[in-house]
Structure formats: C-alpha cells, structure tokens
Structure 1
Amino acid sequence: MSDPSDDLRAFLTSVHPYNALPGDVLDGLLSAFRAQDYAGGEAIYTFGEPLAGLYLIREGAVEITDERGNTVSLLSARNTFGERGLTRDGLAATTAHASADTRLLVLPRADFLRLIETQEVAARFFDRSRPAKAQRDDLANSRIDALMSREPLTCGPDTPVQQAAQQMRDRHVSSICVTDGTRLLGILTLRDLGSKVLAEALAPDTPVRRVMTENPLSLPPDALGSDVLHTMMEHRIGHIPVTEGGALRGIVTQTDLTRFQALSSGHLIHDIAKASDVESMAAATAQIPTLLVQLTAAGTRHEVTTRLITDIADAVTRRLLTLAEEKLGPPPVRYLWLACGSQGRQEQTGVSDQDNCLMLDDTVTPDQMPYFHDLARIVSDGLHACGYVYCPGDMMATNPRWCQPLRVWRSYFNKWIRTPNPEAQMLASVMFDLRPIGGDATLFDGLHSDTLALASRNSIFVAHMVSNALKHTPPLGLLRGIATIRSGEHKNTLDLKHNGVVPVTDLARIYALQGRLTPVNTRARIRAALEAQLLSPSGGQDLLDAYDVIAEARLDHQCTRIKAGEKPDNFLAPTALSDFERSHLRNAFVVVKALQASLGQGRGTLS
C-alpha cells in the first residue's frame, strides 16, 4: 500500500526533519515509505519483537507503553516512533497500539539507517540522547523569545579570527556575533571560517570584520517560530540574531529549534520511567521550566499545561516507588501512595512542593511499619531532589500521622466531620483533594465517595468548611480595585496563588462537597457543579472564565520570570500588566468575590 507521491511529498515537507532534506534525498524516501492502516485498539508492535521500520503517523493516534504496561507517550499526526529500537538491535523497546483508526507511514530499517548516516539534520533529530520532538505547530506558533539563546557569544570587529574560533570552540557554539557595544555589526559562523578563512589561507590575525557577514538578517523578539523557519529556509541560513532597536538580544540557531522541538512531557516521562537513579530523574525534571515556557508560548490552555506538568510528577513518584521496592524488597502488605494539594488536583505549575500520604492494608502489623517508613523516606527524599520540595506543613508520608492503615484513615475523616475545629477544616480541605498515584488503588475504592456522602449530610461541618473556604479572598480594595500586598518582600504585588487560584479552588471543593461530586480537579469540579445545577449556567460559566484568566495570568508571570533567568513565583506586579490585562484580571476577581459572597449567604448560586 502506498500514498500518491504528490500527497506524500506535501505531507513530508510539513514534518521535520524531512522538510530540511535536499530534494533528491526526499525523492528517494517517497518510494521507500509504505502506508499501513490500523484499527483503533489494534497492536502495531509489542515489546521485544523485530521492528518493521521507522513509524510516522499520517493520521490517527498511537499510545506507547513500556514493558510494564505504563503509558509513556500519546502520539498524534506528524509524530514519529520506533527509532530507538532501530538504532540499537532492531527490536522494539516499547509496545505501540493504535488508540484510534490510524494510518502510519513506515520507513524500512535499512532506509532509516542510511538516512541518519548520510544526513546530519536527520541524525541530530533522531539522536535519542536528547528528548523527542513536540508537534511542529508548537514551534511555528511560539514567540522567538521562547526559542532563542539569551547570551550569544560576541566579540569586537577587530578580534583576530583565530581568537574568535577559539571562543566558539570553548563555548561549543557554531557562530559568534560581532558587536559594537550592544549594536550588532555582523556574524561569523563555522561555515565562514571554512570558506573564507581556511579556503583562502588567511592569516590567523585577520580581523573578523574582513570575513564576517555584515548586517545579517535578524528578527525582533516578538517574531514567531514560523518566521524563523521561513527565514532560514528562504535564505538557507542556520543562525538568526534577535535584535531590538539595533541592539542584540539573543540568537536562534537550528540547534535551538531542534532542542525546542525535542522537549515534550511525554519524552520527559519516558526518560523518568527508564531512570535508574534519582540523579537521572532530577536531570529530567530540571527541564520542566523550559517545558512550561514552551507550552505557554504555544498557546496551550492552562489546564492542559498543568495536567502535563503534573503527569511528570506522577511519573517521578511511581518510578521512586519502584526503586524503593527494588531496594527494600516486596512490600509486606498492600499499600497506596496518594497525592493531595496541587498534584492531587493535577494543577502543578513551575512552583510545587510535595503533599502526599500512604494508605496501608488493615492487616499491617507494627513490625511491618518500618518498611513503609523507609519507603516513604526514599520517595520523599527523591521528590525533594527532583525539585518537589518538602512540605512546610509536614503533610507527607514521612510523617507517621500520614502513613496509616485504611481503618485509621477512615477514623480521621469521621473525626474531622464530627468535630470540625479549625485543624479539622484545614486537614479535610487538603484530604478531599486526594488522588491515587502508585500502589494498590483498590484501597481507595469507596473511601472518597463514602466520605463525601458522610460530610455532605453534616450541615454543621459543611457550614464550617464554607467559612474556612472564604478565608482566602481575591485582592480587591475599595470600589473593587486591585489591592496589592502592602509590605514585606513582596510589597506592591499580587499573590496569584493564595489570593488568585486558591479562592476558586476552595469554591470548587465546596461545590464538590455539597453535591457529592467525585472530580478532584478544580475546573472539572466547576463543570460538574454546573451539570448538577449547583451553579446557574451564567454564574458557572463566569466562574470558569474567571478561573481561566487568573490561572493563565499566573502561568504567564512564571514564564516571564523563567525567560528572564529567574525562579518562577506567584507574585505579580500589576504595573507589569497593560490596562487591558489589569481590567480583565480585576473583573475575574470580582466574579470570584461575588460567588464567595453568594456562598457565604447560603445561596450557593450566582445568576
């Protein structure tokens, strides 16, 4: 089976690295690729079997799982898979099946190996020492300031070419920008050194001004990835300086584009799933800030971005549990590791601590408890090393209070509901966001729904929970203008966590409690409350829109700090926003405040 060559050519030229291949090489691939159709659910290959070749998704969707059946990637059109096995022994390193009706293009192994041996752009792309590519559209739609290197190598125009070459060697880069102060004068590349210096036998002390490309093509910081791609292709160049008012701000190279395309949550999870130690996992999670910037720059919705970021934390936790069992031996009884807080709600951003606990089978004996204390310490320490810092409130499985048999957990919830003192309200709020991560999930069966039913029937407990939920208020001052923090380290900023997303999270939790709604994610809870008519259609949609505005402002702020080389936080200065942005944010706070007032008055709806 084959695709018409014209259609296949058009498709391949929309996919990297094929769009960067010489015309004659691409022509050769047209006859080599073979189309293969799979029905949804049908196996493509299984772990350990010989691979037919390199797989490129023409249309449809494919799920990739490891040898234990854990999902490591969910792929769609223009994604490639199978290359890792092809470059080793030709055997599948994963299992793949079509998750929808799918058409694949298969490039036989011999043709694939010949391609990466003869074409550098293909070899770089399929180099599995780096993560695999994300969807091309993400790159095309991203701003150039999310792609560029912010500290390009520079030299003066009178620098000897030998010294410039040594600087490039030492920095492991392929170009150097020639500047006068911050003003860009030209650029010198490895190609220039070969064709203009070595080929012409110029002296080592030749000044770079004689061989540089003067007034090179450049782009502004607000250009898109598509502008970079088009410029590189049209002018056949691999380096584009980024300038603003003539001043050099950065540089984008083909390597930057490859690196950007290579980063995805799926491949980070793949790297984590095969990691043999904490250091390898930490190397993967260190890329989360870059991934966050990439996702936001591509216009990914906040709830998708935070879900993808949380999936990485889940994968780290499960891998640490596996490593802990390998060290300690099989667990003496069934256990379940659960996350609460933002990980439990699948809402992690670039700033996350750890909130977790352990539920144990009721048959556990006192002499078996040290095993689980050791397991908790291994996992918690590993999470901390991977950037998920210890919980300041000690809400972790390492705390014996939160490492208990199931019967104790049931008694906890029953006591909190019967006696809703301030501590009980706080703990119940945290524990209502529990989500199973690793272990035997059947231990959690029924506990969540039973607790919701018990709590919703206790009107005194619900009233206390409502009162507790109203303690976090949006930052509105007189006449509902935006009010900033008045003193301290974060003076004149807004806390977009505690006064932004947390009030919405608290509202959604109350709606879930009132309606016995099982979702844990904030947005899913609001939607479920709408369907259960706990919120009026207009009030519910307003709350969803308000939450989106606040959550996206929070992610945008974190990305701004990451791109500036700073650690992400939740403190936004309103002066950094345009009048339009401030207006929308203020309106969002007003919606949340109105719903809080409605809930506090016992109405629970907003028409």
Structure 2
Amino acid sequence: MTETAQSFLAQIHPYDSLPDGVLGEIADRVEWVAMAAGDPIYQHGAPLHGLYIIFSGQVSVRDAHGKEVSQLQRQNSFGERGLLQDGKAATSASATEDSQLICLPRDLFHKLRAEHEPFHRFFDRSRSGDAAEALRAFDLTSVRVETLMVPSPLTCPPTMTVQAAAQLMRDRHISCLCVVENDALIGILTIRDLSGKALADGLAHDTPVSMVMTANPRVLPPSAIGSDVLHMMMEYRLGHLPVVSAGRLVGIVTQTDLTRFQASNTAGFVAEAARAETAEALAEVTKRIPNLLVQLVAAGNRHDVVTRLITDIADVVTRRLLHLAEAEFGPPPARYVWLACGSQGRQEQTGVSDQDNCLILEDGLDAEALAYFGPFAQFVSDGLDACGYIYCPGDMMATNPRWCQPVSVWRDYFAGWIKSPSKEAQMLASVMFDLRPIGGDASLFEGLQMETLEAAAANSIFTAHMASNALTHATPLGLLKGLATIRSGERRNTIDLKLNGVVPLVDLGRMYALQGKLDVVNTRARLEAAMAADVVSKSGGRDLLDAYDLVAQTRLNHQADLIKQGRAPDNFLPPARLSAFERSHLRDAFVVIKTMQSALMQGRGVLG
C-alpha cells in the first residue's frame, strides 16, 4: 500500500497526539483486514478482536435490534463501545462496499488507554445509547471535506456541447461536470441544468455548456468539515459543491442521504433559519440553541465541534437578516461585506454570545448611498438582538458609523493602529484581526486582510505592543499553583473560564497568527497552523492544544450543566464542583498557558 498505517493514523485524532515512537509501535502491530461488499465484520454479542478503523470503503453499523444506526467511511473507527464494556460487540458491523480496515488489537487498545491521557480521554467520554458510538465515529462534524470529497472530479471545457456533456455524464454515471478553463473552475454543469435549461428551452445539441452551466459556483476548501457541506447545501439548495484549494479544483462533494443523516440536528436549524420570513421567526429557531448545546455536549462532541455548529446557525441567521434588510430597504446601492468579529468571527460561539460586527463598503459612494447603510445595519443588528445575540456593550457593531465605512477608511484604520499602537489601537486591532466575512462581497475584505497581516508582522514595535496586550489576561493560578478564585461579589469562589481561561488562549493564537502571517481566524486552527509554520514548537503547540481543549471543554460542560438546571449559561465555574482529578488537570492546563505566555514575553514562542 502506498499509504502506510503510521502516516494514515497520524492524520486522525487521538493518534495524532501520540509520540512518534508509540505511533510506530501501533503501526507494527495493527492488522490489515480486507472485506468484500456484504461481508460481516462482527455480530452483536460476539467477542471483539480489537478496534477497527476504516482505511477505505464503507461500513454499516446496526444496533442489537438490527436497525442501521450509521454508515461509516474512511478514518472512522468502530468497536470501542464493546471494548470498553465486556469485550463483546455492542453492535453489528458489515461492509457495504469493498473495504480495507485496520484492526488495533484489543490488548494494545487498553494499553494505550492506560498510558496515554489523550487516548484515554478520547475513548472514555461518557456515552448514552447503543447507537452513540457509531454516531460519534461517523459524525460529519469530525469529518473533513477532503475525506468526504471525490478527488479529481470529471471536468469539461466551456466549449463542450451540451449533447457531448450529457453523453459523458450518462456513460460515467455521474450527475455533474465541473467546467474548467485554464486550470480554473468557472462553472458547474448538472443534470438539472441540462433538463431545466438546455432541454426545456429547446436549445440546439451543439450549444456550448457555458450557455447553460451555473457560473462561479459556491465552493469549499478541503479544510472545511462535513457539516459545512450540508449547511451550505441546505441554505442555498445545492446538490453539488466543488472543493477548491489555492484556486485549483481538487474534488467535489454531492448531496446524499448519508450527509443528510449525519448532521440532521443542526441541518434542521439551518434549513428553518434560511427560510424564515421575519426576525420573529428567526428568534423561534435560535431560542432552541441552548437545548441543542446540551444535546451536542451530551453526545460527546468536542468543544470546537459544538461551537462551530452553533456559530453556523448564527451565520445563517445573519445572512437571512441581510436578505430581509435588502427586501425592506431595496437593493443596496453599492457592494458591501458584513463581517463578524469576536467569538462569531472565530467560529467559537457558546451559549453566551453578544454580537460583534462591522460593515465594509466599496469606495466612491456619495452621501445618499452611504445613508442607505445606517438603517440597513440597524435592521440587522436589531434582528440579531431579538434572536438572543445581544447588542455589544462596547458598541462594536455596524450600527456605529465608525464601523460602517468604505474600504479605504478601513485601510487607514489598520494602518493607523499599526503605526501608532496606543492602548485603544491594540484593543481594536485585537478585535479586528478576528474578522470573518458573513454576507455580501467578501472580495472587499480579502485583499485588506492579507495586506494588514503583512504590515503588522513587519512592524516590530506593533507586534511587541500586541504581545504585551496578549499577556494582560492572567490565568487563575495561586501562589502554589492552586486555583485562585474570585474573592468577593456575586461571583465569589468561582473562576472565570472565559476571561481567565479561554481568552488567554485566544490571545496567544492571535499572536502566533500575526507572527506567522497566518490568515486563519479560529483559535484551534491558528494553533495548528502555528505548529505547521514553526511559529511555535511542536511540543509546545501540542501542550497548548491539549490545554485549550481541556479549558474550553470544561467551560462548555459547565454551560450545559446550567442549562439542564433551567439556569442561564455563564462562564463562572466553582472549582469545588470539580473532582480532585479534574481540578488537577485544569491546574496543569493553566500552567501550560502561563508558561507559553512567558515564552511569548521573552520572544521565544516555544515551550521547554
């Protein structure tokens, strides 16, 4: 096989957190298992030989009553529930197509659980129900698009005739062709285009596909996750999504029953929000988000998966409000892009979120055109508030004229902050480095983003001030590395898991992105990109990722617990509610964060 077991497993969590030597030992001991379509892998109640990981193909998992609970594919694992109980299969599994599996022997599985905390933590999170194992293993929120996509999809030039295209699609048993010119994707041709445009309009057989294709189709990068595919399909009523990397077509994902099944919970929210006709109807959708958070956490999803899904809903709500605003005030007189900053910008929204946003407009607008966007922004902001995304206490919103400006003004803003990094400039730059386009014309921001990153990274005085600003949020560690709680007021005897837990990590991630001129915004993605770019050492980065996962997961679990009690979620956790084991690990996480802050202060950006 061209791809080794070690290189394959190194791409999958939690194996990616194991030392290279351990990963090599695993690769030496795993067994390759070839299964033909229809072959049973194991039956419910049978002894399990080990944990199975899918290298290629597809596997169906059924519960004790024979009901299919999931279909799994590459990188998904199954069998752990039985291994964690009595060593007997809790489900039945069979190959639905020719498949290659990797079997991790039972004794090695338990050895890894006993000796490696990330492995133990990943597989020992509490589950509920016979189908839970399969649902987690094949959850679109943990599958990257590059895993779901069909690589190197069939393409055609724009000059191909519709008849030739139809014949090619028939002969290859496919439902679409990607239209490529000079190695660039310019359109997509689907069966719907052929029937609804070429055939229905009686076009000649030699009509070029460029006349009936969907030009400039929506695309996703390989780094997107499976739920991004489903949510975009639900919002825009798409059946096919090309995957593009660095301007090149690398794959395509089509809508299937499988993808609908995988993200059915959040897809329902997205579909309802995308069809809502009023802000009140949107509020009916968003008021159910707290219960969704509880369900997602209870299902064992990681914090970054939960926050990504919750942010997806906020994004759709925002875009729907932009659409409703255009219907209310008429077509916009100029191009604009609505951007989110803060937790929505970073795709890290939890159960407690205000709104942070701004508008970038195209240059050259007259006073009348500029005046359109005042009530427009107010309509959207009011709608977000009605949906539970409360007004920003610091007025960091597009309703503030300061944050609703042409692109040239924004360019001056960033240049001024970088040139003269006052306290306010540092604060504003920190917020604005987390900007992410939500609706409108994203091209207004793209050039500005990279231009600003390069200018900021090149200014050592600015980066020094930003580094200093990143250290203003201290971790809640006492003198003897115990947990230091708030001493007075209504939050007495609690720790603020946002201000003193997550925010220091967000600050570090932002600084690493600035140092490496990395254009990713999500904190976890920034930490991973910083490791890949050698901005931070591999050992330091892995420790910081583990610390981030623990703090963020603890925060999310705390919010879910409050919601289950019928209380409003917050960020203030009484450490006394944690076990001694949990407190110890939380202290260790804060020690890692503090150490990395010290490294940043010393200009090293590394650990140990």
State the TM-score bracket (shorter-chain normalisation). Answer: 0.5 to 0.7
Cα deviation code 1:188-227 (max 9, x no counterpart)? xxxxxxxxxxxxxxxxxxxxxxxxxxxxxxxxxxxxxxxx
Q: Do 1:40 and 1:98's aligned partners in 2 also have CA atoms closer than 8 Å?
A: no
Partner Cα distance (2:516, 2:293) in 1: 34
Once the two structures are TM-superposed, the CA of residue 604 in structure 1 deviates from its matched residue by 1.8
Q: Does 1:14 align with 2:63?
A: no
Q: Once the 2 structures are TM-superposed, how far is the Cα of residue 552 of structure 1 from its aligned partner?
A: 0.3
Please name the residue that 1:277 is paired with.
Answer: 278
Aligned to 2:248: none
Report the counterpart of residue 109 of structure 1 in structure 2.
Answer: none
Counterpart mapping for 1:117-516 below 5 A: 135=262, 264-516=265-517
Residue 337 of structure 1 contacts residue 357 of structure 1 at CA under 8 Å; is this kept in 2? yes
- Given that 1:420 and 1:464 are in contact with CA atoms closer than 8 Å, whether structure 2 keeps it comes out as yes
- The amino acid that maps onto 1:334 is R
Pick from 214, 233, 239 the counterpart of residue 96 of structure 1. Answer: 239
Which residue is 2:96 aligned to? none
Please give the alpha-carbon distance, in whole angstroms, between the structure 2 residues aligned to 1:44 and 1:468. 52
Please give the alpha-carbon distance, in whole angstroms, between the structure 2 residues aligned to 1:359 and 1:9: 49
Match of 2:145 in 1: none
* CA distance, structure 2, for counterparts of residue 492 and residue 457 of structure 1: 43
State the partner residue of 1:599.
600
Q: Is the 8 A contact 1:507 1:596 kept in 2?
A: yes
The amino acid that maps onto 1:415 is: G
Structure 1 Cα separation of the partners of residues 402 and 191 of structure 2: 46
- The residue that corresponds to 1:530 in the other structure is 531
Q: What RMSD, in angstroms, separates the aligned Cα atoms of the two structures?
A: 3.6
Rounded to whole Å, the distance in 1 between the matches of 2:456 and 2:496 is 31
Contact map agreement 2:62 2:68 (CA 8 A) in 1: no
Which deviations, in whole Å up to 9, do the C-alpha atoms of 1:256-285 show, x marking residues without a partner?
A: xxxxxx962111011001111111111111
Letter aligned with residue 427 of structure 1:
L
Kindly provide the CA deviation profile for residues 422-466 of structure 1, in whole angstroms up to 9, marking residues without a partner as x.
Answer: 000000000000111100111012111111111111111111111
Counterpart Cα distance in 1 of 2:411 and 2:502: 29
SS in 2 for 1:264: helix
- Distance (whole Å) between structure 2 residues aligned to residue 49 and residue 294 of structure 1: 42
- Structure 2 vs 1, CA of residues 271 and 603 (structure 1 numbering), >3 Å: closer, same or farther? same
Q: Give the direction of change, closer, same or farther, for the CA distance of 1:41–1:570 in structure 2 (3 Å limit).
A: farther
DSSP-derived class of the 2:398 partner: coil
- Once residues 60 and 289 of structure 2 are traced to their aligned partners in structure 1, the CA distance between those partners, rounded to angstroms, is 35
User: Which residue identity lines up with residue 569 of structure 2 in the other structure?
Assistant: P
Worse-matched range after superposition: 424-433 or 97-106: 97-106
Contact 1:46 1:94 in 2 (8 A): no
The 3 A distance-change label for structure 1 pair 71 and 576 is farther
Letter in 1 for 2:583: R
Q: Distance in 2 between matches of 1:494 and 1:374?
A: 40
SS at match of 2:239: strand
Q: Give the Å deviation of 1:572.
A: 0.5
Looking at structure 1, the residues matched to 61 and 400 of structure 2 have their Cα atoms a distance apart, in angstroms, of 60
2:550 maps to what in 1? 549
Instruction: Specify whether residues 451 and 264 from structure 1 end up closer, same or farther in structure 2 by C-alpha distance, changes over 3 A only.
Output: same
Q: Find the aligned partners of 1:271 and 1:534 in 2 and give their Cα distance.
A: 42
**Hey, which bits of structure 1, 4+ residues long, moved more than 4 A?**
3-13, 37-50, 68-76, 98-106, 132-135
Unaligned runs of 5+ in 2: 1-36, 41-58, 71-171, 178-188, 197-213, 243-251
Question: Is the CA contact (8 Å cut-off) linking 1:340 and 1:433 kept in structure 2?
Answer: yes
Q: Note if contact 1:501-1:551 (Cα within 8 Å) is conserved in structure 2.
A: yes
Verify the 8 A CA contact 1:39 1:98 in the aligned structure 2: no
Distance across 2 between alignment mates of 1:97 and 1:288: 28
| Number of equivalences | 408
> Does the Cα contact within 8 Å between 1:332 and 1:368 map onto a contact in 2?
yes
Change (3 A) 1:538 1:319: same
* Partner Cα distance (1:98, 1:421) in 2: 45
Q: How far apart, CA to CA, are the structure 2 residues paired with 1:523 and 1:599?
A: 18
Q: Distance in 1 between matches of 2:219 and 2:386?
A: 24
Once the two structures are superposed, residues 297-329 of structure 1 have per-residue CA deviations (whole angstroms, 9 ceiling, x without a partner) of: 111111111111111111011000000001111
Query: What CA distance in whole angstroms lies between the structure 2 residues aligned with 1:515 and 1:75?
Result: 28
SS of 1:445's equivalent in the other structure is helix
- Give me the whole-angstrom Cα distance separating, in 2, the residues matched to 1:348 and 1:368: 33
- More off after superposition, 437-446 vs 95-104: 95-104
In structure 1, give the amino acid aligned to 2:470: A
Assess if the C-alpha contact under 8 Å between 1:358 and 1:402 holds in 2. Answer: yes
Question: What is the CA-CA distance between 1:385 and the residue it aligns to?
Answer: 0.4
- Give the structure 2 partner of residue 193 of structure 1: none
Q: Distance in 1 between matches of 2:241 and 2:512?
A: 38
Q: Secondary structure at the match of 2:309?
A: helix
| Correspondence for 2:519 | 518
Contact 1:39 1:101 in 2 (8 A): no
Letter aligned with residue 14 of structure 1: K
Contact 2:398 2:404 in 1 (8 A): yes
Give the distance between the partners of 2:535 and 2:574, measured in 1 at CA. Answer: 35
Identity percentage of aligned residues: 57
Query: Does structure 1 retain, via aligned residues, the 8 Å contact 2:547–2:593?
Result: yes
The structural deviation recorded for 1:16 is 7.3
The residue aligned with 1:202 is none
Q: Alpha carbons of 1:424 and 1:452: their partners in 2 closer, same or farther (altered >3 Å)?
A: same
Change (3 A) 1:323 1:469: same
Deviation of residue 606 (structure 1)? 1.2
SS of residue in 1 equivalent to 2:480: helix
| Cα deviation code 1:215-241 (max 9, x no counterpart) | xxxxxxxxxxxxxxxxxxxxxxxxxxx
Change (3 A) 1:388 1:45: farther
Q: 1:70 to 1:313 in 2, by over 3 A?
A: farther
Give the direction of change, closer, same or farther, for the CA distance of 1:104–1:590 in structure 2 (3 Å limit).
closer
Pair 596,531 (structure 1): closer, same or farther in 2 beyond 3 Å: same
Rounded Cα–Cα distance in structure 1 between residues aligned with 2:60 and 2:466? 60
- Cα offset, 1:14, TM superposition: 2.7
> Matches of 2:277 and 2:192 in 1, distance apart?
23
Distance 1:467 1:277, change over 3 A: same
- In the alignment, does 2:571 pair up with 1:565? no
**Paired AA for residue 452 in structure 2:** T
Question: Per the alignment, do residues 320 and 104 of structure 1 end up closer, same or farther by CA in structure 2, a change over 3 Å counting?
Answer: closer
1:96 shift after superposition: 2.3
- Measured in 1, the distance between the counterparts of 2:495 and 2:61 equals 52
Runs of at least 5 residues in structure 1 that lack an aligned partner in the other structure: 18-36, 51-65, 85-92, 107-131, 136-261
State the alpha-carbon separation in 1 of the partners of residues 585 and 274 from structure 2: 41
Q: Secondary structure at the match of 1:446?
A: helix
- Cα pair distance change 1:41/1:485, threshold 3 Å: farther
Q: CA distance change for structure 1 residues 490 and 70 in 2, over 3 Å: closer, same or farther?
A: farther
Q: Indicate the structure (1 or 2) with the bigger Cα radius of gyration.
A: 1
Give secondary structure in 1 for the equivalent of 2:483.
coil
CA distance in 1, matches of 2:502, 2:253: 39
Change over 3 Å in CA distance of 1:423–1:98 after alignment to 2:
closer
**TM-score, normalised by the number of residues in structure 2:** 0.62
Cα distance 1:320–1:456, how it changes in 2: closer, same or farther (>3 A)? same
